[in-house]
Amino acid sequence: MNLKYFENIDGAWLDISGQPGASLEYDEASGWVTTTGKYKVYVAQLTQSGGDPPVATVLENTLGFVPDWQRSANGVYGFDWSGDFVSTKAAIYMSPLYQAKDFYFDYEADYDVTIFSSGNDNYISKTTFEIRYYN
């Protein structure tokens, strides 16, 4: 039998790889298995230029699908959720904001997750975007 050590940091159990949001439980049939954390997360660096949609450099993705970033108008970008999307289960964080004085998010507008950036393109440059979707 192998013994495993887990450390609790900031109230989140770390799995065997040291990633927050998941823990291991012992299952009689399977042994140690990973359980789902309290939320799924997508973190990416976004860069957008001209009439193109944002390009994402994905840092972490546990959503179960890869967001397909689109552009519908000047300064309007987003992606549709794979499956049912409940906006009250989502939290979005974004930083740093480049030049955007009026920058906000909306759910189920042009896309399930929509970013508005002052009605102008070229305002997203190496911007970190994070969405947490709570179980």
Category of 116 on φ-ψ map: left (φ > 0), alpha (ψ -120 to 50) or beta: beta
Task: Spell out the domain ranges in the chain.
Answer: 1-37, 39-134
Residue 45 has pLDDT above 50, yes or no: yes
What are the tens digits of pLDDT across the range 71-81? 999 999 999 99
**Residue bearing the bigger pLDDT, 17 or 96:** 96
CA distance 105 to 87: 11
What are the tens digits of pLDDT across the range 122-132? 888 888 899 99
Residue 25 has pLDDT above 70, yes or no: no
**Three-state secondary-structure class, residue 70:** strand
Per-residue pLDDT, averaged over 94-117, amounts to 73
Which whole-number Å values give the CA distances from 99 to 29, 44, 70, in the listed order? 55, 19, 21
Which residues fall within 8 angstroms of residue 103, CB to CB, at 6 or more apart? Answer: 94, 97, 115, 116, 117, 118, 123
pLDDT at position 85: 87
**Residue bearing the bigger pLDDT, 33 or 4:** 33
Which whole-number Å values give the CA distances from 75 to 55, 56, 106, 128, in the listed order? 14, 16, 13, 17
Per-residue pLDDT, averaged over 21-25, amounts to 55
What's the pLDDT band for 135 if we cut at 50, 70, 90?
A: confident
Mean pLDDT across the chain, nearest whole number? Answer: 77
